[in-house]
Every structure is written in C-alpha cells, then in structure tokens.
Amino acid sequence: MTILRNRVLRRVAETLGILFGVAVFVFVMLRAIPGDQITAGLGTEAAALTPAQRQALEQYYGLDQSLVTQFFSWLGNMFTGNFGYSARSQQSVLELTLHSLPVTFELAVFSIVLALLIGVPLGMLAASRTNSVRDAAGQVVSLAGLSIPAFLLATTLLSVFAASFGFNPNGQGFATLVDDPLLNLRQMLLPSLVLGFGIAAPILRTTRTAVLEVRSNDFVRTARAKGVPERRLQIRHVLGNALVPIVTMTGLQFGYLLGGAVVVEQIFSVPGIGRQVLLGIQQKEYAVVQSTVLVIALAFVLVNLLTDGLYRLIDPRVRAS
C-alpha cells in the first residue's frame, strides 16, 4: 500500500510539474511574438490611438501589469474555473474548449482506429516473411506515411473528391455527432483518413519490429511444434505478446492528435481544439492560447497514464512488478 501511495504521489507531482512547465513556456513564447491583442484587434488603426486610449485598452486587457502578475493571475483564475474570455467569439474559453475538445477527441479516435486497421495487419504481414515482396510493400507504405506532409495529402484528397466526385461535406456547416450523425461521419472521413495514414506508418514499423522479436522466442517455436494453428499462433501468441510497444506507440500518437491536428482541422474546417489555438494565436488572444494549450497538455498526460494502465491488463509481467 505504501509503494502504491508513493507511486501515485510521484505521478501527481510529475503531472503538476509538467503542466507548470508548459504554462511557463507558452506564456513566454506568446509574449515573444511581436504585437499584442490591441494591434491584432485594431490592425493599422492601432497607430491612431491616443496615449490615453492605449492606456485604457492595456488596462482592459491586463497588459499594464507586470509579466509575473499576469502569469500568476491567469494561473490562479484557471484553478477557479475561469479560463479567460475570447473577444473574437464573445465566449468564455471554457465554453469554447467544451465545444472543441470533443470534436478533436472524435477525430483522434477515428484516426487511431483507421491507423490500427492499416498499420497492425500490414506490420504483421511484413514480418511474416522478411526481405520479401510483402515486406518491401509494407516498408513503402510506412515510408509514404512518414514522408507525405499532412497538408499536401489533405489538400489533394479534398480537391480530388470535390472536383471528381462532388464529395465535399466539409463545405457545409459542421454537424456534431448528436445533431446529424450521418453528416458528421461524412465530414470526419477525409480528415481521419489523412491523419490515420500518417499515424499508420510508425504503428506499422513498431508492429513489424515487435512481431519479429516475439517470433524469435522459444515459446513460439514450441507452440508451432505442438500443432497450434498458424492463425491462432500469430494472433494469440505472437501479437498478444507484442502488444506493449504497439500500445505505447498508439498512446503517443493519440496524445499527439489532441494538439497536433491543427493543419488538418484548418483545411477541412473542423472546429477542433487545434484550430482554436491557431485562431487564438492569430488574434493574439493570450487567455485562449494559454488555457487551451494547458488543457491539451493535461489531456496528453492523462492519455499517457491510461496507456500505463493498459500495460497492466495486457502484460502479466507488469502486474507482477
């Protein structure tokens, strides 16, 4: 019990340390970008402001305070549930996040499912016979997934499907899964395919390496000598013992998707949390960017903790330790 309590306390301390580091980094980086909320909101008209008008706007946005005061004031408000306010959308950052985070989460889930459906079977197929045509084909697919930029694949698919097949559901207003499930699934298809193809590449390579390592163990040869059917051998014995690195890679990629799908969300007009950060940076809305990035960091940490928990379910050696 003492060991478990110490482990939990250590994880909590690590999580708080990571979040504080992310908060400091984002706060400093935003202030390093030229301009502020006043110039972003008024544009060239900001040059015509009188000193009194600028001073009043700086007081309104809190820019007249020292950076240390601004930082701890924002951080203290976060603990009370006040994430800030977006002048662009006339909504609180908390409301924006509650609307955008489920959208990105849905996109990430669909992308991960597609990546697993592509990467795991192809990885096992490539590992079944090394230095063969199927192995070379798997390597080509993984290389293509790693090499083709997401923005290029996204714009190509969007142009081809819209021009050749008249398929452009993302041109309509975004529909949630609750409001219009069919339209929502159609709008999520192409973005999920773009992200899923890119994520399938590292999953494919991880699966291939893990399967090759497990296949060289003695228990696999013993099971084959005992007459275990090949399909059962590959799925239950080989893949079952190769799941830990695959789950690790999947968890890392899922965490990346929660904040790294900015370009794809922008191209397909998906109102996710990545696009929320991008618009906040463009408008110099410090509270929007800072609070949203902190939420993304927290989600990433929680995904990693969930991944660690899955180890205990799939690997008896982790449970024993």
- Per-domain residue ranges of the chain: 2-83, 94-320
Per-residue confidence (pLDDT) for residue 319, from 0 to 100: 54
pLDDT given at position 19 = 87
What pLDDT, on a 0 to 100 scale, did the predictor assign at position 232?
78
Instruction: Give the pLDDT of the chain (321 residues) as one tens digit per residue.
Output: 576 677 778 888 888 888 889 889 988 888 887 777 777 666 666 666 778 877 787 777 777 788 888 888 888 888 888 888 887 778 888 888 888 888 999 999 999 999 999 999 998 888 888 788 888 888 898 889 888 888 899 999 999 988 888 888 888 888 888 888 899 899 999 999 999 999 999 999 999 988 888 887 777 777 777 777 777 777 777 777 788 888 888 888 888 887 768 888 888 988 888 888 888 888 788 888 888 888 888 888 888 888 877 777 766 665 555
Nearest to 192 by CA among 125, 296, 106: 106
User: pLDDT value at position 45?
Assistant: 67
Residue 212 Ramachandran class (φ > 0 left, ψ -120 to 50 alpha, else beta): alpha
Contacts of 192 (CB under 8 A, 6+ apart): 107, 110, 111, 114
DSSP conformation class of 237: I
> How much is the pLDDT for 42?
67
Outline where 80-229 has alpha helix (H).
93-128, 133-147, 150-164, 181-215, 218-225
Contact 96, 89 (CB under 8 A): yes
Residue 118: the pLDDT is 92
Residue 190 has what pLDDT?
92
Instruction: Give the list of residues 6+ apart from residue 22 with CB closer than 8 angstroms, or none.
Output: 293, 294, 297
pLDDT at 62: 76
What is 94-320's CATH superfamily? MetI-like (1.10.3720.10)
- Burial label, 32 (beta-carbon count in 10 A; 0-12, 13-18, 19+): exposed
Predicted local distance difference test score (pLDDT) of residue 244: 83
